[in-house]
Amino acid sequence: MDSTVRNIALVPPPDRRQSETALAIARGTARLLRSLGFTCISELPLPSGRRADLVALNERGEIWIVEIKSSVEDLRADQKWPEYRAHCDRLFFAFTQDLPCEIFPEGTGLIIADAYGAHLHCEAPEHKIAAATRKQMTVRFAMAAGLRINRLVDPQGHAEFWE
Instruction: Provide the 3-class DSSP secondary structure of residue 13.
Output: coil
Statement: residue 10 has pLDDT above 70: no
Q: Report CA-CA distances (Å) from 3 to 16, 95, 124, 161.
A: 25, 34, 33, 10
Q: What is the CATH number of the domain that holds 110?
A: 3.40.1350
Residue 2 lies in a domain: no
Residue 126 lies in a domain: yes
The mean pLDDT value for 101-113 works out to 93
Confidence at residue 6, expressed as pLDDT on a 0 to 100 scale = 52
- Which structural domain, as residue segments, surrounds residue 99? 20-153
Q: Which residues, in sequence order, are CB contacts of 156 under 8 Å at separation 6+?
A: none
Q: What is the pLDDT of residues 59-69, one digit of tens each?
A: 999 999 999 99
Q: Could you tell me if 8 and 144 are in contact, meaning their C-beta atoms sit under 8 angstroms apart?
A: yes
Statement: residue 143 has pLDDT above 60: yes
Q: Which amino acid is at 69?
A: K
Residue 14 lies in a domain: no
pLDDT band at residue 76 using 50, 70 and 90 as cut-offs: confident
Q: Could you tell me if 129 and 87 are in contact, meaning their C-beta atoms sit under 8 angstroms apart?
A: yes
Tell me the whole-structure pTM to 2 decimals.
Answer: 0.85
Q: How many domains does the chain have?
A: 1
Half-sphere exposure of 32 (CA within 13 A, CB side): 25
Q: Which residues, in sequence order, are CB contacts of 159 under 8 Å at separation 6+?
A: none
Residue 37 lies in a domain: yes
Residue 160 lies in a domain: no
Q: Report CA-CA distances (Å) from 132 to 47, 60, 88, 137.
A: 12, 16, 12, 9
Residue 12 lies in a domain: no
Q: What is the pLDDT of residues 11-38, one digit of tens each?
A: 444 455 678 999 999 999 999 999 999 9
